[in-house]
Chain A
Amino acid sequence: METSIVTYALILILPLAAFIIQMLVGRRLPRGGDWVVLTAIFAAFVLSFGVFWRALSGGAFANGPWTWTFRDWLRTPTPQASWTLPMGILVDNVTAMMLVVVTGCSALIFLFSTGYMAGHPRYSRFFGYLALFAFSMLVLVLADNLLALYVGWELVGVSSYLLIGFLHDRALVPPDISPGSASKKAFITTRIGDVGFFLGILAVFAVTGQLGYGNVFQSIGDGAFMGRPWLLTLVGLLLFCGAIGKSAQFPLHVWLPDAMAGPTPVSALIHAATMVAAGVYMVGRLYPIFTPDALVVIAYVGAITAFFAATIAVVMTDVKRVLAYSTISQLGYMMFGLGVGAYGAGLFHLMTHAFFKALLFLASGSVIHAMEHGLGRVGRHWNPDTGEDDPQDMRNMGGLRHAMPITFATMGVATLAICGVPFTSGFLSKDMILGGAVAFGFIEHPQHFLIPLLGLAAAALTAFYMFRLMFMTFFGEFRKEREVEHGLRESPASMTVPLVVLAIFSVWIWYTFDPSAAFREVWTAEFIVKPLPATGTLADVASNEAFAHAAHTAHIPAMLLSLLAAGAGILLAWRKYRRGTISLEAWRTSDSRLYRVLANKYYVDEAYEHTAVAATLVVSRAAAWFDKVIIDGLVNAVARLQVGISWLAGRADKFGVDGAVNLLADAVRAMGNGVRQVQTGRIQNYIVFAMMGIIILFLIIR
């Protein structure tokens, strides 16, 4: 079955149209125009699912991706042009999967937002931004060349800026973030990564002269980087920089926890399901460019990130913060999955993670919503200075499973998924990644043993902190006053329905019938084909086969190890929080150095503050000084010069011109005065003058 341009055009245009309509007239529509955006996104989802189904069951892209190019939209002016920039769309299996993930999650989250954001003064604008975001993400996914990818990339950045900073009218939101600063931080941090990304794009264009994916791969395969393999690795790493920023890998992860300042649906959408996944998608899309060395670096970055973020999540007390670090950790998973060569596994995890992470965020939003309601009912509000009555603080919660059963159940399912417990989708994907990591790090390249080790450690920690979250929130006694507890209610249907839907998609059924599926039996294994490197040779094909085989072999041991890790984590959490055997409070108050390091997130933010931020401030202060003193001074000096000249001119006019005029007048007056003397009024004088005149006349005339 063939798909047509109309489908993709609609998928792209519907959200864009919704955005434009919403921004222009949204406020005047009934219900603030949220149905405009909802209709658009649900329609896009339907179309996307149609594409996906045709791909999955009908093998639409089995023989190669569907492409459409708009040639020559930008040409160089001279006929001897050696390059043109085509624009177009590329769709293959991965794209189809991404379309479903993006539009599906977006649709459910948009629906959730109608309940969560109800009553907000800028409600319609929020939906406009959501539509813009959806459009940006779709541009990114459907792009067929690096330039369009970058355009979508940047648009996504802008949308996330707008959405994170949506609550900018509040100076602080719990636990201690300012939405304005958070949105700026997100944008700037990802920008740093984007610089590397763009340099990579430019390098690709400079060497190959192409920007379209297929053309680039072809060109590399034809030997564009012949003799300079290090350059290809460098280009790959530069491109990866973008992913480091966008997908919050260490060290550019700092923006993601603060991005929790945005409303919960925003966190769910952007930071769980879609935007952060863009980096992973990009690595997947450009996979053929990366050399094995580049991939190893990617794997290390991912593994370190996964472990690092998990350690911080252990000590966080704010629900959303825990989930944020969890996201960073899981993104690390996806990255190192791609890095070790488990291509299908990485992308598969992207899909499963999207669903259960979105579910986790939405459920936490539901909890927070109820906490706010409970506190507000007795007139208590969050105090930013003391941190009391924070609706997001897990230390204020407890035993919520009684008041919010649906939320509890769905969140439980998602927690199981993220921990990699069998019968969940997360188990399958995480398992595949760990299998690949073990194959890579223990079997094929034993020198990289650290990668799977970190991965397993992260798995254990993930289980630990997620169950910690569950125990602290839903089990035990409610830690606040009774009246507050009485105000807790389950959330409305507009919020719980998406939770349920997402929970349903977090179980194993959809992917394979065998809950303990082997590597190959998940349909994604066939569906998502790992591409050969661009400089691929037959040797690479053979090595891929070998890897797949090794992964399969390592599968069982990996699964056992991961189960062990997860079990250990869960047990530890249970003992700590359910049984109270080990107390976190004691550890906290014991002034442990480890605790402080973790609680301060390894002081990464402080490090940045003192280096990059300080440097930037120095530069900007210098620039400001320059502008104020030199430029303004120059302008002022010119102005003063002007004033001086004017003053001079004024003096000249006053003394010179006026003086001349006055002199003239005075001269005339003096002459007049002089001449006036002649008019003595005495006749005799006149007669004398007459006589003298006569004499003179006589003398003259003779």
Chain B
Amino acid sequence: MTPHQIVFAILAVVTVGGAVLVAFTPRVIHAAFSLLFTFMGVAGLYVLLAADFLAVAQVIIYVGGILVLILFGVMLTQRIYDVRLRVQRIQPVLGGATALGVLALLLAVIFRTEWPVVAPPPPAPTTAPIGAAFMKQYVFPFEFASVVLLVALIGAALIARRPVSDDEQARRPVSDDEQARRPVSDDEQARRPSSDGGSASTRDEAERRAGRVKEEV
């Protein structure tokens, strides 16, 4: 085994192992951390594939940005106490079968196709070529991507906005959109002072729903 292969093997195990954990661990926070390993593994594989800029970009963006975001999401949506009850997965059989089917398919394709492989050139720094490409062939996708990023940012900000922004709005009764989004009964509405409007009711709802025999998986 060449060192190249050994490294590859280690990185592969890390990546796939992390992915396995992500897929199968019951606790979300564990899954998030396993995802970290997967991302790092992939970054290592990029290095093996002589994509140095890409590896770094992977680490910065994925690990530093996306993973953090995911962690935030996990923590914001998880209750303080874990009530671990029976773990339930959705359609495990069907999902597993489908995944296996896809895997089989992919593997079949991988091993049956005669890839027109070329001997790889010696590894070279890719930053400059990538930068140049951004300005030449890929200028349009580059600009477009920036627009998309802008739109995504604004959209995310808008979607994630809290419904009640200031005190004045806090006093107002619940709007129709709110009512539509929240399945709250009228008596509940009447009982509750509409100062806080949204979150209080949702919290009550949430408490009620939490009483159910369901565990977030």
Contacts and interface: CB of A to CB of B under 8 A. Distances in A.
Interface stretch (A29-37, A146-154, A692-700): A692-700
Say whether chain A's binding surface is mostly helix, strand, loop, or mixed: helix
A682 B90 CA distance: 10
B54 to A, nearest CB: 27
Interface in B9-66: none
B95 A688 contact: yes
B101 A684 contact: no
Contacts of B2: none
Interface of A: 682, 684-685, 688, 691-692, 694-695, 698
A684 B96 CA distance: 12
Nearest to A684: B90
A151 B91 CA distance: 109
B105 A698 contact: yes
B107 interface: no
B130 to A, nearest CB: 32
B95 A695 contact: no
B91 A685 contact: yes
Contacts of A682: 90
A692 B99 CA distance: 9
A694 B101 CA distance: 10
Contacts of B179: none
B98 A684 contact: no
Contacts of B94: 688
B102 interface: yes
Nearest to A689: B98
A688 B105 contact: no
A684 B95 contact: yes
B101 A695 contact: yes
Contacts of A691: 98-99, 101-102
Contacts of B102: 691, 694-695
A691 to B, nearest CB: 5
A147 B102 CA distance: 115
Say whether chain B's binding surface is mostly helix, strand, loop, or mixed: helix
Contacts of B98: 688, 691-692, 695
Nearest to A690: B98
Nearest to A691: B98
B91 A684 contact: yes
Contacts of A694: 102, 105
B183 to A, nearest CB: 15
22 contacts: A682-B90, A684-B90, A684-B91, A684-B95, A685-B91, A688-B91, A688-B94, A688-B95, A688-B98, A691-B98, A691-B99, A691-B101, A691-B102, A692-B98, A692-B101, A694-B102, A694-B105, A695-B98, A695-B101, A695-B102, A695-B105, A698-B105
Contacts of B105: 694-695, 698
Nearest to B94: A688
Contacts of B99: 691
Nearest to B102: A691
Given A688-B94, A694-B105, 15 more contacts: A682-B90, A684-B90, A684-B91, A684-B95, A685-B91, A688-B98, A691-B98, A691-B99, A691-B101, A691-B102, A692-B101, A694-B102, A695-B98, A695-B102, A695-B105
Contacts of B90: 682, 684
A169 to B, nearest CB: 86
A694 B105 CA distance: 10
Contacts of A698: 105
Contacts of A695: 98, 101-102, 105
A695 B97 CA distance: 11
A694 B102 CA distance: 8
Nearest to A694: B102
A172 B76 CA distance: 118
A16 B129 CA distance: 135
A701 to B, nearest CB: 12
Contacts of A688: 91, 94-95, 98
Interface in B75-92: 90-91
Contacts of A684: 90-91, 95
B91 to A, nearest CB: 7
A682 B101 CA distance: 21
Nearest to A699: B105
Nearest 3 CB-CB pairs, A to B?
A: A691-B98, A695-B101, A688-B98
Interface string B154-191: 00000000000000000000000000000000000000
Nearest to A688: B98
Nearest to A682: B90
B107 to A, nearest CB: 12
A521 B186 CA distance: 137
A691 B94 CA distance: 11
Contacts of A692: 98, 101
A685 B95 CA distance: 9
A179 B95 CA distance: 109
Contacts of A685: 91
A484 B95 CA distance: 128
